[in-house]
Each structure stands twice: as C-alpha cells, then as structure tokens.
Chains A and B, each alone.
Chain A
Amino acid sequence: MGDFFSDYQVGDFFDEMFAGPGAVRPHYSKLFARFKEMEREEFERKRALAASTFLTQGVTFTVYNDDQGTERIFPFDLVPRIIPAEEWDLVERGLVQRITALNLFLHDIYHTQNILRDGVIPKQIVWEAAHFRPEFMHFDVPRNIYIHICGTDLIRDKDGAYLVLEDNARCPSGVSYVIENRQTMKRTFPSLLGQYRVRPVEDYSQELLNVLRYIAPGGKTEPTVALLTPGVYNSAYFEHSFLARSMGIEIVEGRDLVAQGGRVFMRTTMGLKPVDVIYRRINDDFLDPQVFRKDSGLGVPGLVEAYRDGNVSLANSIGTGIADDKAVYHFVPKMIRYYLGEDPILPNVPTYLATIKEDLAYILEHIPELVIKAVNESGGYGMLIGPQATKAECERFGEKVKKNPRNYIAQPVVPLSRAPAFCDESMQGRHIDLRPFVLYGEKVTIIPGGLTRVALRAGSLVVNSSQGGGSKDTWILEDDTASKNGG
C-alpha cells in the first residue's frame, strides 16, 4: 500500500489532521483509511488527472514580473482540508458579525462619522488612509451596502483557534478555484467525497448574481448586469470569465463601455445597450480617468458620474478600501463592540500600528520577531517576515517604517496551522490559511468553506499564489455525527 502517513511529522504546530503523532482527528479518519488502502500508482494517476484537468480548462493565473506574463496553473494539493460542522458554525457567525460591522462602519464614515467623534478610532487613521474617498461623503449607496463581496483571510494559531488575518473588501479573488477544486475532487475522489457529507459550493455564482441584481438602481427587477475586467492579461482573468460565464452575464472591458448623459452603455452589435449593475474587478483608482487616475486606460470616462446619479450600481461600492486598510483592521473588534454591542466572535491577530508612538518604539525594537506589512499592499508584496529576514533586511525595513509610519503595521509571527500536503514524494506538514467568501445582499451568505491556500515551500508562511503557494479543496461537513464512525 502507499504508506503515505507513516513518516509524517506533526511538528510543533496545530495540525489539521493529527492531534499528535499517529493520532488522527476523528473527522479525518475516513480520509486516513482511504489513503491507507491506496497504492502509490493510483495516487499518481489521480495527480496527473487533476493537473491535466486544470490545464485543459485553462485554470491558470498570470505571474507578473516576468517577460511575457507567463500563465501558470495554481498548484493543487489532493489532500482536502476538512472542517467539522460545529467549527464552521462558529466561523460563519463570526464572519456575519464582522461584515455587518464593517458595513455599518463604512456608512458611518461616509456620513456622520460618529465613531471618530466618539474617539473609538483616531481621526487621522481614517483621514490619512490612502483608500479613503472624501469625495463620496454623504453619498448614499444602493440598499446601504458597501461591501457586497468580501474575502476574509482566516488563520489558526497554535491551539487551533481561528483568527482574522485580514479583510479583503475591494476586489477579492480566488473563489473560482474553490469551485474548480471541488470539480476536480469529484473526478479524483468521488467515493471519498460520497462517504463524507460535504456541503456543496457550486451555487456561489447564483448567490452572487442575486446580490448584484438586488442592488440594481431603483430596485429595477430585470437589471442588466456586467462584469468589468481589466482584461485578458490580468492575473485573475480566468476567474472573471469563469464568474461571468456561470452567472450568464457579459464580461466587459473598459473599452466596451461608454458613459453618456449620466448613463452607462455597452457597445454591442446592435448598438448601445444600457447597463444597470457592474461587478467591477478593477480597483477604484482605475475606474474612471475623469475622477481618479488620469492615466487609466482600463476604466470608463464618466462612469463615476453615472454612479453618483444613481443610474448604475457598483459592487463593491467606491471607497471600501478604507475598511481593509491594515491600520483600520486593528480597530475592527472595537467597531464590533461600538456598532453591535457584541464581543467579537473571531478575534484579530494582535497588531501594532507604527503611527502610534509607543507601538512604533516596540516595532523598531522587535523587528526580527515581527511580521511587518505595508497597509495598502496585498498578495504577499511589501512585507517582511522578521524571523526569516537577514539583519540588513530588518534594518532597511526599519528605516522605511520610521520614514512613513502610517504606511506600516506589525504583527507577531503566528505559527499558522499545518495540514498534510504531498510534497517531494511524501506527505509533509505545510502551513495553510482559509479565505471564505462572504456575500452581502438581501441577506449575508457565506460559501461553505472557501479557498484553503497552502504554502508549499517547506517552512514558508506565505500562502499567496504569487509566492509559491497552492490550494486545497475545503470540505465543510453537513453534520459531525456521520464523520466520526471510522470507515
């Protein structure tokens, strides 16, 4: 038999599958049994099948900083990550609470700013944020919803407790991989998937379409919805086209749209056709060269005017970037208490703000122990992992922080949980995170699970696809009783 787990090292981390050496957690026992009876050749066949499936389907992303923008497959690991129903219930409640508070915060910030007046968040944190859009003060968004689609990154600490690492409230990507990963598991492990009762993920696109239709201007019942992409060379283009196709809507580039008289139209073979709702996968800065970056060739001149006139709705709304600013993140637990009067269900990772004097001093003294992040960057760019950096790198980063404190935060290195992944011909513990996708329309719906990203390089804590990460299918169980009876 394949003997996949006999040499597996649990290590000094929280392991998703093993409570200790050889001690399989109950919800993984069926999976463990399945791998025990599997020959190496069978596993290799499954791996080859999975890889060729992704390639022919063109499930690829584009790597930047490369001559030609090479297309690559997002590496896929065949060992699924399994989350029991009870555990997921807590995560789900925590995410609903968080998105509710973040939306109330955005509405408040763009209207009366009570939270600043009451001194819960220092004024300058908001006013100095790069993605705060004062030009949208007192602007009412449809149905008062700002963040329609949120990708919240969760990690688990040494004790297995779920923590929020960051919120992605602008244009989070990755959901297409969740759905494709499941398709692949259905082809490669149909019987195992059948033994577990796993909650389906396929209806995400329908739920997303419901949200987009719900925010149509004036409550229009049959709105025309389009997805706005930066184009085929964008790293997430596959996802854009995947979502447009599964929702049955048009995928448009900036040049396909034209704004006239406060309305937005698509250029079609039969002339101009009005558009009501735009799911834009372009950041604020590039939306409209008349309002934001003048050099943007991706956007649509006049789009913002149409949005202001209430003739076209955007998801997400303009200005949500203030909610996922990494310095504002620090205050989310306080927001939850302030707006909802509740204790946060999912805690934050402790965060030091370089803009606060005492924190800055602490950061500069402890760089080698901390993770330092630029507040507006994502995708694993613009960060320093202290324990893995050289002394010179630490010093250089320290200078950057001193020069522009508002731009940096620091967090202790959280020993992310690990899960088995097949690397270098054997099963090895690799660090993982989880990005569930939260949809906010008539109600809040959360995709059961989300994207489990895995850092495939040994010891690496960076799970981003641009930095050598891969992904796993994430199985949320319908109920926990079925999973515990071995087999």
Chain B
Amino acid sequence: MLSRVADSLYWMSRYIERAENNARIADVNLQMLLDLTNQKESDPQQQWDPIISSLEENEVFASLYDKPDGRAVIDFVSLQKKNPNSIYSCLTNARENARTTSEQISSEMWEQVNRLYLFVKGDTAKKLVRNSPYEFFKRIILGSHLFQGITDATMTHGEGWDFIRIGKLLERADCTSRILDVKYHILLPSGEKVGGNVDTIQWMSVLKSCSALEAYRKIYVGQVAPWRVAEFLITHAAFPRSIRFSVDCFDAALHHISGSSETRYANEAERLSGRLRSDLDYITIGDIFKFGLHEYLESIQERLVEVSNAMQASYCGESAIENLPRD
C-alpha cells in the first residue's frame, strides 16, 4: 500500500472517531446540565469550561464567544469552522482524506463518509443544532457507528483496514482519557461533598459519555464510585471503549501489518505500544491514584502520541521510502 494512502486512511479514521467523541462529550454534558439545574443553584459556566479545556482549544473559543454558555459551546463543538476540532472540521478532514483514498476504501465506505460530510454541511444540521442538539449528536454518533460497520463488512481485512483500525483505536484511547480527565477539571459546587449527589451525577455522566454506564452497572453493584469508574475506563480488558482494550487492539493491528509475533517487536511503534500495553495489563487503580489520576492520564496521552509518531515514521514517512525492494 502507498505510504501516502496509509497515512490518509489512518487520519480519515481518527477524524471520524474524534467527531463521534466530541458529539458524545457535548451530548452528555448537555444532559448533565439538565440534571443539575433541577438540583440547586449551580454555575452553568463552571460546567462547560472543562469541555473546552478537554478539547484543548481554549484560545480559539475565547476569540469567538463572550462566555461559555451552552449555546456557545454547542456551536463551537458542532459546526464552528474556525474550531479545527469541531465535528464539522473533523468530518471535512475525514472526507478529504477519504477522497484521496477513495479507490482503496469500498464505495459504500466512501458514500457514508460523504453522506456525513454533506449532512454537517447542509441546512438540516444547522436547524438541528439550533433546535435539537441531542438529535444532531445522536446522528453523528450513529453515522460514525454505521461507518465502522460498513468498514468491517465491506473492506478486505488487510493492511488498509489495519491502518483504519489503528487510527480509530488510538483516537478512542486518547478520547477516553480526556473524558475521564474532564472530571478532574470539574469542581464540585461549594458545599457539595465528594461522594455526594452532584458528584455521583458527574461520574455517571463520565460513564455515559463512553456508553459505559450499563456495562459498569453489570460489574459493580452499589454507588458509582470515582475510583471504580476510573478503573473500569482505564483497565477493563473487554469493554470496547476502555483505554486498555483500545491499546490491546491497536497493538494487535500493528503486529498484523508487520507480521511479527505479538511477543516481539519489529519496529519502534510496536516497541512503544507493547510497553504501553503491558503497563496497562499490570497496573492497578491503587497505583494510578498514588501516581495521580490526572498525571497518569496525561502520560497516557503523551505515550499515544509517541506511538502515533513512530507508526507514521515506520510506514508513512521518509524513512519507509529508502528501503529498496528485493526483487
């Protein structure tokens, strides 16, 4: 496969996953806000700040809006062209990448990416964002799921598919760590105590962002407790949005591409991802809290970037090019 194409497939997939995750975060926060306003007075501004922080676009946001109220944040996250990580920007980038690889992906995949792009570009999306953001976010999430289903059902499970998987899972691991980190930024309203009502609602919303509340309930009985939520989202071996599960899967995909055994490594990307993987296999939630949850999540994000860079250097960059073929 062409190096450029591998790179584009990887990014196409990352952008679609990113659009989905942004929709999840915004949607859940929207709902949480409703829950909280029914409680007692809480400052809505406080509620939206962490979202903007988690998107790492504080400055762009500040340049566009006066204050972070719900309407501004929803606009910023959904259709704002000036936000490089808005759902609109993500899907535009995904579609551009798909367009340069449209002979590699199946036509059904291309049509789905294109349909999503046309949707966020069109008037229906504008109306939905204004009148029923919940519905808008729902359609983005469903659209992304549909894309993943189409991908698995119509594309040969070869190299290109592996690059798509790696893009999706790296992005997902990164997003789950950010969603979890959002809670770190959320301050409890004054007078509220840890483990209290508001705190529980906030932790539940973290789980909901990852479609994880029901899965969590099946494992842990009783109160939603912070360390359990973190344990579940970081180290669960089989939940498809946990960090560990995502890392396991992209590590497998990396080995699938190179053909090397999963107990060894054939390049720097595999070495880094293998290390991250074994770390997640053996770490306990106690270790994580001792280290500091926020610090640990940040280190995960940095290590994901390292894997991504190494993967691109091995397959998509200049160093891949100098290897002359043996023929």
Contact = CB atoms under 8 A, between A and B. Distances in A.
A248 to B, nearest CB: 9
A242 B111 CA distance: 13
Contacts of B111: 56-58
Contacts of A237: 99
Interface string A124-149: 00000000000000000000000000
Interface residues of B, number: 27
Given A245-B107, A267-B3, A55 B316 contact: no
A265 B322 CA distance: 11
Contacts of A267: 2-4, 320-321
B103 A244 contact: yes
A274 B327 contact: yes
A260 B325 CA distance: 12
B327 A58 contact: no
A331 B124 CA distance: 57
B72 interface: no
Interface in A238-287: 241-242, 244-245, 249-253, 255-256, 258, 260, 265-274
Contact of A256 (B4, B102, B110, B159): B4
Contacts of B6: 269
A272 B316 contact: no
B2 A268 contact: yes
Interface string A56-68: 1110000000000
B231 interface: no
A450 B149 CA distance: 37
Nearest to B315: A269
A273 B325 contact: yes
Given A232-B100, A245-B103, A256-B4, A269 B325 contact: no
B325 A274 contact: yes
Nearest to A71: B99
Given A57-B107, A245-B102, A255-B4, A269 B320 contact: yes
Contacts of B320: 267-269, 271
B2 A56 contact: no
B212 to A, nearest CB: 33
Contacts of A260: 324
Contacts of B321: 258, 267, 271-272
A242 B102 CA distance: 8
B3 A268 contact: yes
Contact of B2 (A55, A245, A250): A250
Interface of B is mostly: helix
A290 B99 CA distance: 30
B46 interface: no
Given A256-B2, A271-B320, A58 B325 contact: no
A258 B321 CA distance: 9
Contacts of B5: 250
Contact of A56 (B1, B115, B159): B115
A335 B96 CA distance: 47
Nearest to A257: B2
B301 to A, nearest CB: 26
B269 to A, nearest CB: 12
A252 B8 CA distance: 13
Contacts of A231: 100
B200 interface: no
B103 A252 contact: no
Contacts of A241: 99, 102-103
A11 B324 CA distance: 66
Given A267-B3, A269-B257, A57 B103 contact: no
Nearest to A249: B103
Contacts of A272: 321, 323-325
B80 interface: no
A232 B118 contact: no
B99 A232 contact: yes
A249 B115 CA distance: 25
Contact of A265 (B4, B315, B325): B325
Contacts of A271: 320-321, 323-325
A38 to B, nearest CB: 28
Contacts of B257: 269
A138 B111 CA distance: 48
From A56, A57, A237, A267, residue with most partner B Cβ within 10 Å: A267
Contacts of B107: 57, 245
Nearest to B106: A245
Interface string A225-237: 0000001100001
Q: List 7 A-B pairs, minimum CB-CB distance, nearest first.
A: A271-B323, A245-B103, A244-B103, A269-B315, A241-B102, A267-B321, A241-B103
26 contacts: A55-B114, A56-B114, A57-B110, A232-B96, A232-B100, A237-B99, A242-B103, A245-B103, A250-B2, A250-B5, A250-B103, A253-B4, A256-B3, A260-B324, A267-B2, A267-B3, A267-B4, A267-B320, A269-B1, A269-B2, A269-B257, A269-B320, A271-B321, A272-B323, A272-B325, A274-B327
Interface of A: 55-58, 231-232, 237, 241-242, 244-245, 249-253, 255-256, 258, 260, 265-274
Given A58-B114, A242-B103, A266-B2, 20 more contacts: A55-B114, A55-B118, A57-B107, A58-B99, A232-B96, A241-B102, A249-B103, A250-B2, A250-B5, A256-B2, A258-B321, A267-B4, A267-B320, A269-B1, A269-B3, A270-B325, A271-B320, A271-B325, A272-B321, A272-B323
Interface of B: 1-6, 96, 99-100, 102-103, 107, 110-111, 114-115, 118, 159, 257, 315-316, 320-321, 323-325, 327
